[in-house]
Structure 1
Amino acid sequence: MPQLRGRVTLATVAASAGVSVATVSKVLNGRSDVSESTRARVQEILRQHDYVGRRPEPPVERATVELFYQGFLNSYSVEVIQGVVEAGQAADVDVVVRTHPPRGHNRGSGRAAPWIRELAASGRRAAIGITSELSEADLAALARARLPLVVVDPIDIAQPDVTSVGSTNFAGGMAATQHLLSLGHRRIAYLGGPPTSGCNQARMNGFRGAMEAAGAEVPKEYVWMREFLYEDGLAGGAALLDLPEPPTAIFAGSDEVALGALEAARARGLRVPEDLSVVGFDDTQLARLASPQLTTVRQPIREMGAVALRTALQLAAGEKVDSHHVELATRLIVRSSAAAPARVPSGAVS
């Protein structure tokens, strides 16, 4: 191979390799329309002579949004993530999905969580949380970093200034309970999520509103709340069904909780819906896979994620949003898990 003298240029490399200057440029830029043998010959000459070309222009950085959730992924959060990611693709925005410490991990410390500082330094355009609870220190740190935050179904109802996206939970809770009442049930229990959760409070209040309007009593032991998880539905369903006078119907605050209640019923030899009616909330894929298929309240979960992404980008651009809290409409989906009670209580309306 001939030795190149003096300053090495594209032209001298091309002459040494017996190719055109354009071919050398293609090799330097990683183009695929060059044969492997030619690429290897040009690269060897470049290596031997320590050729250093002009520094390429840095690529234009795509906007990136952080999407975080706390605890474990479930069917609900997966659908929210899908909605955020699809909206990000449409907006030419990258979405980074991470899990962060569980609720209460940093509460009372008075200091922002370390991941908040990392997030502020990462160049993210905005942050989106799924059913997340942040401390006042976390919120203050995000504000100082001018990093907009949007939360889907916020846990902490004591933080009304946090921009959030949800659904018409009160109306959904009322619709689910009214459906059970219309079937003739009066002994209806509510099996819900965290007591401090905004969406849980709204669903429970819708339940209570429908029961009060119908003149149906809600004994204290008929309201059982923990988390929106299958295991909690199983434990809560067992507690309700083991009461001296168990409910004939259960309105569950999520589809996962409803599936736990179904299993609690099966474990006691009860048939659904013949012996017990169960209505869920969310209309995730689980509702259609359940046996029997679950009557549930549909909330547009993917659209909630998409609205959260678009709202976060609006805030990042300095635009005003119409409301700090957006609610999308719910509707009841009737399937096979609810029917008239085996024995209609006295005074029930058929």
Structure 2
Amino acid sequence: MEKRKLGNTGIDVSVICLGTMTWGEQNTEAEAHSQLDHALERGVNFIDTAELYPVPPMEETRGRTESIIGTWLKRTGRRDRVVLASKVSGPGEWVNYIRGGPRLDRTQMTDALDDSLRRLNTDYLDLYQVHWPARPTNFFGNLGYTHEEDPDATPIEETLEALDEFVRQGKVRHVGVSNETPWGVMEYLRLARERDWPRMVSIQNPYNLLNRSFEVGLAEMAIREHVGLMAYSPMGFGVLSGKYLDSTPANARITLFPRFARYSNAHGVEATRAYVELARAHGLSPAQMALAFVNSRPFLTSTIIGATSMAQLEEDIESAELVLGDEVLEAIETIHTRHPNPCP
């Protein structure tokens, strides 16, 4: 398994990162443990989770995913073999069941981190990420930006100061952002430089064949500033496998949870069909082609995969060995030109 540097740190992480957000909802604890065992055997050393998980987020299941990872770590004693990442929730009415309304301030973040560490059965995280910004901005599928001031939003300065304290305490080794914008990342970097606070080493944003908006603004930042992309939804909630094109598969994520239809609009379906036909014309698995494209990007640190079955997990991991030829890459660009970012 190829390893890449996590930002400007000395940590090497696998190009495939094991995502966990289905564990505790679509996957049982035993299934999750089997996925962890298999992923490590195949060379994956990077695990990503969040206090919010599993998804869809609900009060009665929050934290269950971290607890499942925690029981695996306790049973196997493999903490030193994995790079473990988690995330603290930002504000939003849809998550007001978290600490009475989560805020990215020192008090709430301290409580969030301590709870995550307890559930995970560890005394430190290799990477602690801000799941989404406190300020109103364009994320979670919004490309257009309408400026809106929120006097109650926790300033980035306060959030980063809290993260600095966690690093100094030894509870966190490195810090990252998620669902951020170019301005947000550069503001974190500016404050880190001026205050001698920890520098963001990663950004976890969506990136796939149906949504390449990261390439506008953030890609250059990721390369020049060594804040590499941890790509989530690399298969667009599974649609790029082609399984939703002509059927409604039972127990699949979008079948069970129709709210996750972000990559299923008419333009997205048309583009997906073109990518699936391209893959099959070249004797490739559509899922592996989609993942291999993401893996090949120069601004990428790691591609976060999520699987509900061992067969899916194995297919996704094998994408790390696939190198797309020039003919396929050129055809991908042709389709992208015809269907640019149909599902932001």
Q: TM-score, normalised by structure 2?
A: 0.30
